[in-house]
Structure 1
Amino acid sequence: MAINGDKANPTSAAAAPPTVFISTATLRRLLTHASLIRHLHSTLSTNIQSPVRHSHETTPSSSLLLMPSWSLSPSLPYVGVKLVTHHPNNSALNLPGVHASYVLFNSLTGQTLATMDATELTLYRTSCVSALASKFLSRENSETLVMIGAGSLAPHLIRAHLAVRPGLKRVIIWNRTVGKAQSLAEKLQNESGFEGVILESNGSLEGVVGLGDIVSCATNSETPLVKGGELKEGAHLDLVGSFKPSMKECDDEAIKKGRVFIDNEAALVESGELVGAFERGVITRDDIRGDLVELIKGEKNGRKSQEETTVFKSVGSAAVDLLTAQLVYETCIKNQVHG
């Protein structure tokens, strides 16, 4: 805050708002998929520094991840870090395997501005990155979304894709556990935002992949689920789940068949679909058509025809975490809602 036209001084810094805690429930009230998609579209090209994430084994079966990021732009005076714990054996305790918190700082003063639930933040940012890519890569007249996976990301991905493709009339959910897909379809059908949309589940993966104008995958699969030969003409394939080379949600044919885009450079070394395709000589790195920032800036063309197949592979980034936390925090302060 400037005083009498002078630059900020310790008095103005001391007048900064106190640190706020933003709970899961509050974050859900502050964010919508549509608002976050718009925000990422307008800010993702900002100059943001994101070092390689730190990963540390805390026990033989658990780990701690640190994902720092900071902006070099005066219009985005923030530093942030996401702290993630991964305890895969928590399923035996009926607890989530991943827990996360986000801490946001003022980059000018170093003051802590907010702490918030980063588990929910990650669900929003991941789904909205996919939807933003879909805005450039899927057909505008898409009518059917096939959702592969019925975990915590699935409802977010469905809502986010609907936000950019409101013409979607049918959502088909598939999951290895058929009952889980059925329960999610029934749950969402009764929620607001799905008026005029038919939500259903189907136990036959081969039977539904070919129906999707958009096929979105959010699984931990280490064997290909989507076969390129089964994709319909003009389909857009959204790959969200894999984040290490051993994981893959589609086969080589899908990668070879589609014009492939990524969210950021990390996908080239973390995504099992791409790493495997490179190793087998199916495609080379030069065959990757571009990243999300290049699509936003218009430096790379998205969909070129109704008939072509497009593929988007995301692995996540600390830059998107920072921008999402920014929107949450600024909305919180504007509306004076937190806790």
Structure 2
Amino acid sequence: MFRADTDTLVRLLPFPELIKALAAAFVAGANVPLRHSHIIESGTDTGTSLLMPAWDAEGYYGVKIVNIFPGNRAKGLPGLHSTYTLFDARTGAPLALLDGDVITSRRTAAAAALGASYLARPDATRLVVVGAGRVGGLVGPAMAAVRELDDIAVWDIDPDASQRCAQRWRESGLPARAVEQLEPAVREADIVSCATLASQPIIKPEWLAAGSHLDLIGSFTPAMAEAEPACFAQADVWVDTEEALMKSGDLLNAIAAGRWRADALIGNLTQLCRGQIKGRSNDQQRTIFKAVGTALEDLGAAKLAYLGLKNA
């Protein structure tokens, strides 16, 4: 069984190749059961374990296990640990053990870029990234793989975090800058990508320019939201999977406020990648991509990494 440390796994998942791998995964499809959730109790310690399986017709089966233990902070430990195990779907034999955090963060940013490849204007050059955390810190390079960007602004509730993120991007050759005021940056942006854990909306509808693309990839539960409900009015909306209609606080809030209807959904990434529906249709159209993540993306990323290890 192959194993990859964090640095090796990052090298095995460069964004241009990862975006292509995810597109191929959505075209091919996979069996993706609903994730399992279990409460783990041991003495006075309690945590949640999430199991996310998927398998495909090519003969690959993978399971991501995410363990969330809030009490770890008091022990000086990370609150979240994640592993990904890839198996041969025909024999059950283990093929690779991978860092689940790297798989999750890189496939999330890559899926956002895949969505933008269909939904952002072809001439989009100005990106704003909201959130400079584990996922947000990858969005700039991912989007740069699908659009020729000449200005990348990054904002975070922690100004030092945005400064560090912008510096890393500049060192990698990207035209990045940290901003302290979010509104003016969003008003000037062609693409606005939100990768936060916000429970209250950050993006206001009046900030969004005609023809802009709003990418919402941070929130993944009904209690989380990154955009005000009115952002969805007069916008065309796509999702990564239909599961977003059940999990996304952004979508549920917009429906409850009467600013959007579920039957107004244009489509999902599978339909986009298979050419079953169209993406953006004109330069003035406001587009929104809402993602909550799927084990299909994990499997696509793990397969790419495994083949890289196998062929090294």
Distance 1:187 1:52 in 2: 36
Q: Per the alignment, do residues 116 and 185 of structure 1 end up closer, same or farther by CA in structure 2, a change over 3 Å counting? A: same
2:145 is matched with 163
1:5 is matched with none
Contact 1:243 1:315 in 2 (8 A): yes
1:250 and 2:243 correspond: no
Instruction: Determine which of 126, 139, 149 is the counterpart of 1:144.
Output: 126
Contact 2:129 2:194 in 1 (8 A): yes
Task: Give the match's secondary structure for 1:48.
Answer: coil
For residues 1-339 of structure 1, the aligned pairs below 5 Å read 19-59=1-41, 62-71=47-56, 73=57, 76-93=58-75, 95-165=77-147, 167-191=148-172, 193-194=173-174, 197=175, 199-335=176-312
- Post-superposition offset of 1:263: 0.1
Unaligned runs of 5+ in 2: none
Distance 1:287 1:31 in 2: 35
Distance 1:317 1:85 in 2: 17
What is the total number of aligned residue pairs between the two structures? Answer: 309
The letter of the residue matching 1:189 is R
The letter of the residue matching 1:173 is V
More off after superposition, 77-86 vs 201-210: 201-210
Q: Per the alignment, do residues 225 and 94 of structure 1 end up closer, same or farther by CA in structure 2, a change over 3 Å counting? A: farther
Distance 2:216 2:46 in 1: 26
- Post-superposition offset of 1:68: 0.7
Distance 2:287 2:178 in 1: 24
Distance 1:127 1:95 in 2: 25
Distance 2:100 2:112 in 1: 18
RMSD of aligned residue pairs (Cα, Å): 1.4
Distance 1:310 1:41 in 2: 19
Deviations 1:72-125 (A, max 9, x none): x2xx11111000011234445554322110111111111111111111011111
- Post-superposition offset of 1:334: 0.9
Contact 2:25 2:297 in 1 (8 A): no
Task: Give the match's secondary structure for 2:128.
Answer: strand
Unaligned runs of 5+ in 1: 1-18
- Post-superposition offset of 1:126: 0.5
Contact 1:228 1:257 in 2 (8 A): no
- Post-superposition offset of 1:310: 0.3
Distance 2:26 2:270 in 1: 7
Contact 2:64 2:82 in 1 (8 A): yes
The letter of the residue matching 1:172 is A
More off after superposition, 43-52 vs 136-145: 43-52
Distance 2:73 2:181 in 1: 26
Distance 2:168 2:11 in 1: 19
Distance 1:118 1:309 in 2: 34
Contact 1:262 1:312 in 2 (8 A): yes
Distance 1:43 1:246 in 2: 29
Distance 2:26 2:20 in 1: 10
Deviations 1:146-202 (A, max 9, x none): 01001011221111100000x2111111111112111211232122x42xx2x1111
Distance 1:77 1:311 in 2: 34
Q: Per the alignment, do residues 93 and 232 of structure 1 end up closer, same or farther by CA in structure 2, a change over 3 Å counting? A: farther
Higher radius of gyration, 1 or 2: 1
Q: Per the alignment, do residues 175 and 61 of structure 1 end up closer, same or farther by CA in structure 2, a change over 3 Å counting? A: farther
Deviations 1:9-40 (A, max 9, x none): xxxxxxxxxx1112212111212011011112
TM-score, length-normalised on structure 2?
A: 0.95
